[in-house]
Amino acid sequence: MVDGVINASVESGEPGRTRPGIPAFVRMWLGGWPLAQIALYLGTLLLFLWLGRNLLANMARLGLTPGFEFLEHTANYEIGESFIAYAAGDSYARAALVGLLNTMAVSALGCLVATVLGVGLGIARLSPNPLVSRLVQAYVELLRNTPLLLQLFAWNTVIHLLPVPKHALSPVPGILLTNRGLFLPAIDAGGRGLFVLAAMAAMLIATRLVLRRRRRFAGPAPSRVVLSAYAIALLLPVAIATGFGISFAPDIPTLKGFNIRGGASMTPEFAALMLGLAVNASASIAETVRAGILAIPTGQWEAARSLGLRPLAVMRLVILPQALRIIIPVMTSSYLSLTKNSSLAVAIGFPDLVSILNTTANVTGQALEVIALMLGAYLTLSLTTSAIMNAYNRSHVLRSERR
């Protein structure tokens, strides 16, 4: 029998079942009809061989050599914006890397903005005040019932309708909105800001881990200890950097001539894509948060209130921690779809991965390799995100269920 993994351990003299051998394991996994299953795989293989043979013949006819060598050739197109140095004449591989970084930047920032907006709106949607909850409902319905591409077109149009830099819109001092992009105040660290930021992030994580260990062995630390630990974690890298001669200066965008200098800037395309994606995702995140909070039994609210907690404390200490258990898995899929939707950049002219790879395919004709890169990159991004979120889920969400 297939499940008869009792292959007698008579010789070893040990009683009981042993692990199945590899052939038995394969038999168990395959179940019945092994020949039909092998035929399915063989058929698929043959189909791909046939398609591949046609592809090779067609590529030979067009004078293309299959393979990824073309990535080393020089790309003769410019790219609108890039986080690493790039100019026409660099390799296709570098151009693809520029696109990948752009995709990651716009998705990461979009996820952040979408979360902040979505959680706020989701809580507002539950407000007992009908004016507030109806307003949020209208927002959600409008965004969910129109295509994302249309929303991106609309954002793009709106941002290009903003005034020229000379008459920049400034809703808050320091923030300038123009048709050349959005400008925010920043801190100038002489090009080494990223290192300092990374050091700060590492210190914050380390502090958090140390505090958690301490809490496990010695109970919760007094809040002044926690606060000063975090303050030190934030200030130490700055102090060390100052010691190494990096100066920190506030960098406020200002109008110089016909253009705006200084500050952190977003190009109009980046801003349109990021805002479009974030606002669109915020609608579904708001619904997720609302559903998660509604799933908490009313007894929890009543119990927390009867203990004398204020409404905000009830939300922060009792409801949200439990709702997160429901919210996080759904939120993961919102993040993933935002990342995949960032490929719509190609429609509004932002140079993301898909847009740059598409240009590469049109210029070189190496469609197979380019599409393999595209699929591989998105699959890696998707699978990594779900792996990270699953790990978080295991450590934060299921922990309370294990108890």
Element (H, E) at 115: helix 92-125
- Residues with Cβ within 8 Å of 266's Cβ and at least 6 positions away in sequence, in order, are 181, 182, 183, 184, 274
Binding mask 145-164 for other proteins (x = CB under 8 A): xxxxxx--xx--x-------
Exposure string (b/e) for 260-296, b if CB count within 10 Å is 16 or more?
bebbebbbbbbbbbbbbbbbbbbbbbbbbbbebbeeb
Nearer Cβ to other proteins (142/231): 142
Of 16, 63, 128, 191, the residue at the interface with other proteins (CB under 8 A) is: 128
Number of residues this chain uses to bind other proteins (CB under 8 A)? 57
> What residues from 61 to 100 belong to the interface with other proteins (CB under 8 A)?
61
Nearer Cβ to other proteins (186/368): 368
> What residues from 242 to 261 belong to the interface with other proteins (CB under 8 A)?
none
Q: Which SS3 state, helix, strand or coil, does residue 299 take?
A: helix
Concatenated DSSP letters of 341-402: HGGGHHHHT---HHHHHHHHHHHH--HHHHHHHHHHHHHHHHHHHHHHHHHHIIIIISHHHH
Nearer Cβ to other proteins (132/186): 132
* Closest approach of other proteins to the CB of residue 222, in Å: 31
> What residues from 360 to 389 belong to the interface with other proteins (CB under 8 A)?
361, 367-368, 370-371, 374-375, 378-379, 382-383
Binding mask 300-339 for other proteins (x = CB under 8 A): ----------------------------------------
Nearer Cβ to other proteins (196/389): 389
When asked if residue 55 is in the footprint of other proteins (CB under 8 A), the reply is: yes
Cα–Cα distance, 144 to 152 (Å, whole number) = 13
Concatenated DSSP letters of 123-141: HHHT-S-HHHHHHHHHHHH
Nearer Cβ to other proteins (40/209): 40
Number of H helices, E strands in the chain: 15, 7
Nearest to 282 by CA among 50, 70, 146, 114: 114
Nearer Cβ to other proteins (204/346): 346
Cα–Cα distance, 196 to 239 (Å, whole number) = 10
| Size of the chain, expressed as the number of residues it contains | 403
When asked if residue 347 is in the footprint of other proteins (CB under 8 A), the reply is: yes
Of 7, 76, 127, 254, the residue at the interface with other proteins (CB under 8 A) is: 127
> What residues from 2 to 41 belong to the interface with other proteins (CB under 8 A)?
29-34, 37-38, 40-41
- Identify the DSSP state of 296: S
Nearer Cβ to other proteins (40/112): 40
Nearer Cβ to other proteins (323/345): 345
Cα–Cα distance, 327 to 290 (Å, whole number) = 9
Concatenated DSSP letters of 325-340: HHHHHHHHHHHHHHHH
Q: What phi and psi values does residue 39 have, to the nearest 5 degrees? A: -65, -40
When asked if residue 275 is in the footprint of other proteins (CB under 8 A), the reply is: no
Nearer Cβ to other proteins (148/229): 148
When asked if residue 346 is in the footprint of other proteins (CB under 8 A), the reply is: yes
- The residues that touch other proteins, with contacts defined as CB under 8 A, are 29-34, 37-38, 40-41, 44, 51-52, 54-55, 57-59, 61, 127-132, 135, 141-142, 144-150, 153-154, 157, 340-341, 343-344, 346-347, 354, 358, 361, 367-368, 370-371, 374-375, 378-379, 382-383
